[in-house]
Structure 1
Amino acid sequence: MSEMQNYDSRVSDPSSRKMETFSYLPEMSDEEIRTQVQYIVNNGWQPAIEHTEPENAMDHFWYMWKLPMFGETDVDAVLGEAKKAHEAYPEHHVKVVGYDPFAQSQGTAFVVYRGPMK
């Protein structure tokens, strides 16, 4: 087995903090984000958009952007709402969430827009 990598996160360094499922991977391309949203839709999960100030990302609930998109199957509609949230709150992190109605929990969540780190 290969050696595990240590992620040196510090409270004093906001840029070192990791958030959500894909934070430890390289930043996703637009096509990779589209693929993840398609996965949410294909699994019958309910997409939703959330946002928050970067300084509150780790210790607060995120704000819901509108209501969850119950029954939405159009990937472009989901990505469009994420973009609208980013345009309305350009200083905030914006993430896409996939709620699994059977497990009654988040199936996935990932940040698609990052606000500036202060």
Structure 2
Amino acid sequence: MRITQGTFSFLPDLTPAQVTAQVQYALDQGWAVSVEHTDDPHPRNTFWEMWGPPMFDLRDAAGVVGEIEACKAASPEHYVRVNAFDSSRGWESVRLSFIVQRPAQEKGFRLDRTEGEGRTQRYALRHRAGA
């Protein structure tokens, strides 16, 4: 199962050149870029571990790509994603977010549905063991 979160998640993995192009696009827009990683990509896990502080003053993608590569090397079995924040209106919002690394084997999730009283449907996401 392939985890689909963020921009480009339904496409094949981006090549290094495509990652660099997307990072440069974000920097050209004046967006701050950050790198995050996790071993738990559950959809409700919105707090991934930050790889250093957000890069507010960079204008060249090479600096961000270097941090991406360092994070990937330090966490080879984690998901790694890049986020770009736009603070131009006085509040930060994510304008671009995409995964740049996945573990060799993605465990995925299973959706359990239970019917309750009055035909109420309850749903729960559970980790799947194995792909």
TM-score when scaled to structure 2? 0.73
Runs of 4+ in 1 over 2 A off after TM superposition: 55-59
Number of equivalent positions: 103
Larger radius of gyration: 2
Unpaired segments ≥5 residues, structure 1 = 1-14
Identical aligned pairs, as a percentage? 36
Alignment correspondent of 1:95: 81
Cα displacement (A) at 1:57:
4.1
Structure with bigger RCO (C-alpha 8 Å, 6+ apart)? 1
Larger strand proportion, structure 1 or 2? 2
TM-score when scaled to structure 1? 0.80
Alignment correspondent of 1:108: 96
Cα displacement (A) at 1:59:
2.3
Give yes or no for the alignment of 1:56 onto 2:41: yes
Q: Aligned equivalents of 1:84 and 1:57: distance in 2?
A: 24
Write the letter of the residue equivalent to 2:95: G
Unpaired segments ≥5 residues, structure 2 = 108-131
Alignment correspondent of 1:72: 58
Cα displacement (A) at 1:85:
0.7
Alignment correspondent of 1:19: 5
3-state SS of the aligned residue for 1:108?
strand
Q: Aligned equivalents of 1:68 and 1:85: distance in 2?
A: 13
